[in-house]
Amino acid sequence: MPYDDSVPPNRRARPLLVAAALAALCLTVAGCGGGPDTTDGAGAASPRPRGDTASATPPAPGADPSEAPSPTGPLPRGPLTGRTVVIDPGHNPRNREHTEEINRQVDIGTGRKECDTTGTSTEAGYAEAAFTLDVSYRLRKLLEAQGARVLLTHDDDRPFGPCIDERARIGNEAKADAVVSVHADGSAVGNRGFHVILPAPVKGGGADTSKIVKSSADLGARIAGNFVRATQSAPADYIGGGTGLDTRDDLGGLNLSTVPKVFVECGNMRDPKDAALLTSASWRQKAAHGMADGIAGFLKG
């Protein structure tokens, strides 16, 4: 399954927001089509956090890590100075080598689910875990340029995971102003577009989303609108009723969060047209810009 803690979405709540804002944005771009782009021209984002000298993940298709300077020195002052953002790159490139560990059940507040999953991939073998790290690095660089303190839940520095409960805990303990979990979907061929997953009202066990439902919906709507603008990609045509928003109550990463958090499914890796976008470095840079603009708009209120 494509989510870090997904099960078949048997109980999908209706999106909290309507499609009007996204429809208006689509009128301002060229058909919300987002055509393939196999050229780079964007440069890969910095591959490690500040002060970390560990080896980086292998480059994604079209990436050029040599163009990105190492992120050393103090953060610049900017409009997001004093704000903390946690980026959660979905899955882990080495989860496939640790099936016993990632299949271990963990508490998600309303039940138990696998620690983590392997994620999906394109038909050509470009793994979701590689995609999420690449986009997360790009997103981190854009947010740091605006002065934000940015933490990653993992940085290709672990043998597997982290588990979904730990992913939520990292954002909670950081007292993050916003958390974004980066993913790509693994739906059927012919299904296209992006969507943002919002937390549903959940209370049970260790889960209580009552204080973050509204703020997370605001964060998700801002990301969705800016994602359309930056990438010219349309909201998913197979989920969310054309809004680009879907609300779920079965994802531990959302259920256990005590700070505003959303998942962003950037496209469908199993569809060849979407896959052409996801494997384009310049499109991934646009996707990171869309998310960064949405996060910044949310934090600046």
Question: Two tokens at 22?
Answer: 């996204």
d(Cα 1, Cα 123) in Å, to the nearest integer?
15
Catalytic residues: 265
- With residue 130 as reference, give the H or E element that holds it: helix 128-145
Take residue 217 and report the two structure tokens written for it.
């919906």
| 8 A C-beta contact, residue 124 and residue 276 | no
Taking the CA atoms of residue 115, residue 268, residue 295 and residue 22 in that order, the dihedral angle to the nearest 10 degrees is -140
Mean pLDDT split into 10-residue runs, the chain, 301 residues? 38 41 44 42 39 40 45 85 98 96 95 96 98 98 98 96 98 98 98 98 94 98 98 98 97 98 98 98 98 98 87
Using alpha carbons, list the distances in angstroms from residue 297 to 29, 127, 179, 267.
Answer: 20, 30, 14, 22
* Residue 73: predicted pLDDT: 73
CA pair distance 218, 201, nearest whole angstrom: 15
Q: What's the pLDDT score for residue 95?
A: 96
